[in-house]
């Protein structure tokens, strides 16, 4: 499957691929991406079933990794720095396991290697209650989402996936139906292959996705992993884009 990308120009000889998380899109990473483009040409990718990338029933991490590797092959014969957040973080870990020769350094933002328990039912429930065929304005959807989901940040990530269709109505670019069917895979583990690449794992310190007790399991698969923390929740790139970019660039330039 081909993946849509937003390319932020930077040095022509250094490239970074950025993969967003569940319910997100390349658009979510533009602020942090512009800061990273001081040192890299930055490719902000839309993951399958998100943003402007295509619809597919397959959401296993191996298929995501292969789609990213296919994009990397089209982008040119070079090694990439590659960064992924949450679901995108597991996708870049799997890509490192399958295609290590494509990668210079690996950056994973607020996700570990372990499986996570289900915790997105409230999002699927909120979206499933909305009949877009009856919607006449974006505000109707905003109000409906706001009624079901208290967290404003979560609301905004979900609403990024709402767009106009060719008939003048509304549709979701985020394929919630497929994501709901595949959520067990998305929350699951990656492969067991050990990866001998420099790797940085960044935790949102107000999040619980990467805890100190997770470090040992991460280093079993990524023995060269180092760890950093940022005073933010799970959406580190939205809350602290400058601090995140600074930590990433310190790692890539070292």
Choosing from 15, 20, 43, 234, which is the catalytic residue?
Answer: 234
Choosing from 53, 86, 207, 237, which is the catalytic residue?
Answer: 86
Contacting residues for 201 by C-beta, under 8 A, at least 6 apart: 108, 112, 210, 215, 218, 222, 225, 226, 227, 228
Quick check: 73 and 33 in contact, CB under 8 A?
Answer: no
Residue 234 bears catalytic tag: yes
Rounded Cα gap, residues 42 and 9, in angstroms? 7
Strand residues in the chain grouped as ranges (E): 5-8, 15-19, 41-45, 80-85, 103-109, 162-164, 170-172, 199-204, 225-230
Contacting residues for 14 by C-beta, under 8 A, at least 6 apart: 39, 40, 41, 81
Quick check: 23 and 158 in contact, CB under 8 A?
Answer: yes
Q: Which residue from 82, 59, 71 is spatially nearest to 182, judged by alpha carbons?
A: 59
Active site residues: 86, 234
């Amino acid at each position: 499957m081909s993946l849509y990308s937003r390319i932020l120009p930077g040095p022509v000889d250094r490239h970074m691929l950025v993969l967003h998380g569940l319910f997100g899109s390349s658009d979510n990473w533009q602020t942090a991406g512009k800061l990273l483009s001081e040192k890299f040409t930055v490719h902000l990718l839309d993951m399958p079933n998100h943003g402007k990338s295509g619809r597919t029933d397959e959401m296993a991490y191996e298929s995501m990794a292969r789609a990213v590797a296919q994009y990397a092959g089209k982008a040119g014969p070079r090694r990439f720095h590659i960064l992924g957040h949450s679901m995108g973080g597991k996708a870049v870990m799997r890509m490192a396991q399958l295609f290590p020769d494509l990668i210079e350094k690996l950056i994973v933002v607020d996700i570990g290697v372990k499986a996570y328990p289900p915790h997105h039912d409230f999002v699927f429930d909120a979206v499933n209650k909305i009949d877009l065929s009856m919607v006449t304005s974006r505000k109707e959807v905003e109000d409906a989402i706001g009624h079901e989901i208290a967290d404003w940040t979560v609301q905004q990530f979900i609403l990024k996936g709402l767009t106009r269709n060719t008939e003048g109505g509304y549709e979701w670019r985020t394929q919630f139906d497929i994501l709901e069917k595949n959520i067990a895979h998305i929350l699951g583990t990656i492969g067991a292959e050990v990866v001998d690449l420099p790797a940085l794992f960044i935790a949102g310190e107000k999040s619980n996705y990467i805890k100190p007790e997770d470090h040992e399991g991460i280093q079993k698969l990524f023995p060269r992993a180092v760890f950093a923390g940022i005073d933010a929740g799970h959406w580190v790139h939205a809350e602290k884009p400058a601090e995140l970019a600074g930590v990433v660039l310190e790692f890539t330039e070292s």
